[in-house]
Structure 1
Amino acid sequence: MKSTITENQDGTMRALSNRHVQMIAIGGTIGTGLFLGSGSTISKTGPSVMLVYVVLGLFFFFMMRGIGEMFYSDPSQHTFVSFISRYLGPTVGHFTGWTYWIGLVFVCMAELTATATYVQYWFPHIPAWLIEIVFLGILAGINLIAARVFGEAEFWFAMIKIVAILAMIFTGVFMMTRNSTTPLGHATLANVFTNFTLFPHGLYSFVAAFPMVFFAFQGIEFVSITIGEAKSPHRVIKKAVNETLLRILIFYIGALVVIMGIIPWTSITPNASPFVQVFKLAGFPAAAALINFVVLTSAASALNSCIFSAGRHFYQLATEVPENSWMHKTFAKISNNGVPAAAIIFSAVLVLITPLMSLTSVLSSVFTIVTGVSSDMYIIVYTLAMVAHRKYRASSDFLPDGFLMPAYKIMSPLTIAFFAIVFFTLFLIPEDLFGAVGAIAWTVIFGGVTYLHQKKLVPNTNQS
């Protein structure tokens, strides 16, 4: 086995097999939002929620094709942010790199908080901070051992989610084909289209569903970060990216059709998991415990991927600063195991702030606000990735026979425009307004500071 693992020039190992990357791709596509949050989106928009998922899934597919095309031209890169630095300049790259890494740390913190909540479903007397420290320690340790061990953990995490979704879909199809009777009526496909209207609760609720589904897809780009350590990057990129849309159609649309076929969409409870409701109607009394286990593994999977990604991004940031700086000397290193150990440890240590949040409500409130801002920043980061892709197309690096984005001239500007529209909708939703304003403030303030800092470095660079 060792002979099939090649070493990159920077010391990292191409240890992730095709099955690892494919399951990481699936894991990145399917988040806890499908298991827990789909009830809320269905209650807002009814069956037209499927249109929201299809539209967003289509644009995320084209975003992934753009990122995939750049990785195909240079699979030695560890993050898509490196392409932003290359094609939009060091100032934009520096701003994006730090913004994305900080966002990842807060995503790690949010997922770590979630794991404690799910474990306390069974063990309510165990303090949250202890659960969080144990989970963080285990998953950080997995990331420090080797990329292959991370890939194996993600493989099984993703497998649990897939089995749960397929079990729910098969159960639903079985009930609908038998026209099973439930306390809510008959299970039939006709339930999906009964009393159908495009905007059952008005245009506002329909528009508000877009950012909700957008954030459910957030993290879909994680698979691209594995390309730098994949065994067969060119083959893996094509397969992982091309199947993104298919996964969304099967897992999201398939699950939504089954849910609304068994539970009339007017009867879906916004704050309850529709998966739990379906399994209970099918006569499975332990449904709540089963789905709690699934979302626990989903949160652990997201945390595992976040630690992996945060470590690679911080390592990338360290390689872009002057070699004589403390940051470069400390974090621009690859361990003997082929992982950026120092960068992983530093990122994980910052996530340790999470257990402290259980000690004070003030810190918890600040965390909620900052998480909202960092989530909204992802829209800006994704947009910059698409702009970098356009610059790549105009550069000498462009491979005419590479992994080309389909309908580039039409879909590239449309995807950028769509992301801008989604960001604009945040200002129409009261609970998202502060995060949107915060994202703009961060862009202006931190972007300005980054620009001035980089401007100071230019003369020194020229002199050397």
Structure 2
Amino acid sequence: MSTTEVAAPHDEMQRGLKNRHLQLIAIGGAIGTGLFLGSGKLISVSGPSIIFVYMVIGFFVFFVMRALGELLLSNLHYKTFGDIAKDMLGPWAGFFVSWNYWFSWVIACVADIVAITAYVQWFNPNIPAWLPALITAVILTVLNLQPVKIFGETEFWFAIIKIIAILGLIAVGLILVVTNFQSPEGDVAAFSNIWSHGGMFPMGASGFVLGFQMGIFSFIGVELVGTAAAETENPRKTLPKAINSIVVRILIFYVGALAIIMSVTPWDKIEPDKSPFVSTLAVAGFGLAAFAIQLVVLTSAASSANSGLYSGTRMLFGLSKDAHAPAAFSRTNNRGVPTKAVFFTCVFLFSAIPLLFAGDGVVAAFTFVSSMCATLILFTWGSIVVSYIVYRRRFPEKHAASKFKMPLAAVAPWLVLGFFVFIAGTLLYGDDTRPPFLAAPIWFLILTLLWQLRKRKLLRDGRPLTAAIPTVAHPLDEE
């Protein structure tokens, strides 16, 4: 690794992430702003059935990640799923997938900054909305100019804070349930609160279906493991562990936490425009704990945005290497950081500031941005699944030899694609998610025009439409 870094310090990234970094990045990616902030609105829309929503989404996301894991390990020269798309589906797919993923993370980071603004105003409503948004954008820019090892350490501790906070909330909630704690409003903490206020499906099938809209946003970031694998020291050992733990994380952090929240506070008394994590502890009389949780969810949003910027800049780096973006974006400094890609991406974060003043409040802005992001991430995840289908048909010998095969490989990809069509339908069905969903085709039209322009220029210059993926053994291969 050191030889590579010395020989090509300005156009290669460094493998500075260790096993503990990748494992915690995987956990941090699965615990995002959608859980901490968006779950309040989801509960108000779906009631207790939100538990089943998260279980269903988690089930299908697990298969997406297993597909991604097998693909990445089939050739360690793959840096991102953009590389996989261009290799399996063609140069156009690499262009579309990579630019779309970059854009989706720009949007997700804006959503996180909007959420951070909401958290800061919880401490002091008189703080102007633009101030925390501006400060956050500047801090994120500085963090992403650090070497990948620093990023790994930052996310490692951010993730630990999230884990301790959620496990602490679950523990406190269990104590309140066991002791039959009674809130000042007279509500007694009990597991029966989950189903005794209208049943598990109080909003009927319609409420259950609507829960999938923002529920999908909560899971955006699990694919960060795939991006980070390119800068991980031993992906063959660490990647399977990180992916296989996804189901357990979902059961504990999503299903477990929300079940406890609705046991302590009946779901119909949870305010949709506030974090239920904070509200639960505040209702229980733990003012200081609620204050601490508020700090945690604030750092969680910062962590999510930090991870998103990292992933987006690495995707931009790959686009530049393929000649699908300006060459300057593939230049790295002597610490392996693609600085120009970082600065270009961070410029868009400041769009969160006018967005805060354009709508009907922070939650409305968050809903719009997260819905747009959910629409775009369906395309990204769908490209992984379609690439996997092509991979199995084109390289059956690689699939047979894989030590990390996707379960139900012949059937699961098609079920996942069918589920994504269902999610698209739910986004089109909801009044507040329909506008951003219908706006997404404009973005893909822009991508189509940009691809045609880029393609013609490359052909005129006699250059390949994309950089080739090496087929020789990777230095990290065990053989």
Whether TM exceeds 0.5 here: the answer is yes
Which residue of structure 2 lines up, in the alignment, with residue 386 of structure 1?
385
Equivalent position SS for 1:398: helix
Deviation at 1:451, TM superposition (A): 4.6
Is the 8 Å Cα contact of residues 313 and 342 (structure 2) preserved in structure 1?
yes
Deviation at 1:459, TM superposition (A): 6.9
- Which of 322, 340, 343 pairs up with 2:341? 343
Segment drifting more, 273-282 vs 53-62: 273-282
- Alpha-carbon spacing, 1:8–1:352, altered in 2? closer, same or farther (3 Å): farther
2 CA distance for matches of 1:254 and 1:236?
26
**Structure 1 counterpart of 2:348, one-letter code:** L
2 CA distance for matches of 1:51 and 1:207?
11
Is the 8 Å Cα contact of residues 108 and 306 (structure 1) preserved in structure 2?
yes
1:319-369 CA distances to partner (integer Å, 9 max, x unpaired)? 1117xxx812x122222101222211221233234446568779x999986
**Structure 1 counterpart of 2:375, one-letter code:** D
Deviation at 1:227, TM superposition (A): 0.3
Deviation at 1:304, TM superposition (A): 0.8
Which residue of structure 1 lines up, in the alignment, with residue 259 of structure 2?
257
Which residue of structure 1 lines up, in the alignment, with residue 160 of structure 2?
159
1 CA distance for matches of 2:162 and 2:390?
37
Percent identity for Structure 1 against Structure 2: 37
- Alpha-carbon spacing, 1:236–1:454, altered in 2? closer, same or farther (3 Å): same
Segment drifting more, 230-239 vs 283-292: 283-292
Q: CA RMSD in A?
A: 3.1
**Structure 1 counterpart of 2:398, one-letter code:** F
Equivalent position SS for 1:67: helix
Which residue of structure 2 lines up, in the alignment, with residue 327 of structure 1?
326
> Which ranges in structure 2 are unaligned for 5 or more consecutive residues?
466-479
Equivalent position SS for 2:301: helix
Which residue of structure 1 lines up, in the alignment, with residue 206 of structure 2?
204
1:376 counterpart = 2:371:
no
1:14-73 CA distances to partner (integer Å, 9 max, x unpaired)? 111111111111111011222222232223323222111111000011111111111112
Which residue of structure 1 lines up, in the alignment, with residue 469 of structure 2?
none
Which residue of structure 2 lines up, in the alignment, with residue 75 of structure 1?
76
- Alpha-carbon spacing, 1:165–1:106, altered in 2? closer, same or farther (3 Å): same
Deviation at 1:372, TM superposition (A): 4.3
Which residue of structure 1 lines up, in the alignment, with residue 217 of structure 2?
215
Segment drifting more, 364-373 vs 388-397: 364-373
Equivalent position SS for 1:346: helix
1:20 counterpart = 2:18:
no
1:58-97 mapped onto 2 (5 Å cutoff)? 58-97=59-98
Equivalent position SS for 2:411: helix
Which residue of structure 1 lines up, in the alignment, with residue 305 of structure 2?
303
**Structure 2 counterpart of 1:231, one-letter code:** E
- Alpha-carbon spacing, 1:8–1:343, altered in 2? closer, same or farther (3 Å): farther
1:395 counterpart = 2:391:
no
Equivalent position SS for 2:145: helix
**Structure 1 counterpart of 2:215, one-letter code:** V
2 CA distance for matches of 1:34 and 1:366?
16
- Alpha-carbon spacing, 1:23–1:8, altered in 2? closer, same or farther (3 Å): farther
Is the 8 Å Cα contact of residues 7 and 13 (structure 1) preserved in structure 2?
no
Deviation at 1:460, TM superposition (A): 5.4
2 CA distance for matches of 1:42 and 1:18?
35
1:433-453 CA distances to partner (integer Å, 9 max, x unpaired)? 122222234334533652575
- Alpha-carbon spacing, 1:115–1:388, altered in 2? closer, same or farther (3 Å): same
1:245 counterpart = 2:247:
yes
**Structure 2 counterpart of 1:398, one-letter code:** K
Deviation at 1:414, TM superposition (A): 0.2
Which residue of structure 2 lines up, in the alignment, with residue 29 of structure 1?
30
Which residue of structure 1 lines up, in the alignment, with residue 282 of structure 2?
280
**Structure 1 counterpart of 2:247, one-letter code:** L
Equivalent position SS for 2:337: coil
2 CA distance for matches of 1:154 and 1:357?
27
1:226 counterpart = 2:224:
no
- Alpha-carbon spacing, 1:304–1:177, altered in 2? closer, same or farther (3 Å): same
TM-score (norm 1): 0.89
2 CA distance for matches of 1:97 and 1:383?
13
Segment drifting more, 30-39 vs 84-93: 30-39
Is the 8 Å Cα contact of residues 20 and 151 (structure 1) preserved in structure 2?
yes
Is the 8 Å Cα contact of residues 110 and 369 (structure 2) preserved in structure 1?
no
Equivalent position SS for 1:304: helix
Which residue of structure 1 lines up, in the alignment, with residue 417 of structure 2?
416
2 CA distance for matches of 1:460 and 1:11?
25
Which residue of structure 2 lines up, in the alignment, with residue 291 of structure 1?
293
- Alpha-carbon spacing, 1:370–1:179, altered in 2? closer, same or farther (3 Å): closer
Is the 8 Å Cα contact of residues 368 and 432 (structure 2) preserved in structure 1?
no
Which residue of structure 1 lines up, in the alignment, with residue 475 of structure 2?
none
Segment drifting more, 139-148 vs 207-216: 139-148
1:1-25 CA distances to partner (integer Å, 9 max, x unpaired)? x989988975321111111111111
Is the 8 Å Cα contact of residues 35 and 254 (structure 2) preserved in structure 1?
yes
- Alpha-carbon spacing, 1:42–1:411, altered in 2? closer, same or farther (3 Å): same
1 CA distance for matches of 2:279 and 2:341?
42
1 CA distance for matches of 2:150 and 2:280?
35
TM-score (norm 2): 0.86
Deviation at 1:114, TM superposition (A): 3.0
**Structure 1 counterpart of 2:378, one-letter code:** I
2 CA distance for matches of 1:360 and 1:283?
35
**Structure 2 counterpart of 1:171, one-letter code:** V
2 CA distance for matches of 1:360 and 1:437?
19
1:182-231 CA distances to partner (integer Å, 9 max, x unpaired)? 34433222322325635311221111101121111112211211100111
Deviation at 1:123, TM superposition (A): 5.2
**Structure 1 counterpart of 2:174, one-letter code:** V
Segment drifting more, 428-437 vs 350-359: 350-359
**Structure 1 counterpart of 2:164, one-letter code:** V
Is the 8 Å Cα contact of residues 356 and 365 (structure 2) preserved in structure 1?
no
Is the 8 Å Cα contact of residues 332 and 339 (structure 2) preserved in structure 1?
yes
1 CA distance for matches of 2:311 and 2:120?
24
2 CA distance for matches of 1:22 and 1:5?
25
**Structure 2 counterpart of 1:278, one-letter code:** T
Is the 8 Å Cα contact of residues 32 and 219 (structure 2) preserved in structure 1?
yes
Equivalent position SS for 1:96: helix
- Alpha-carbon spacing, 1:203–1:463, altered in 2? closer, same or farther (3 Å): closer
**Structure 2 counterpart of 1:280, one-letter code:** A
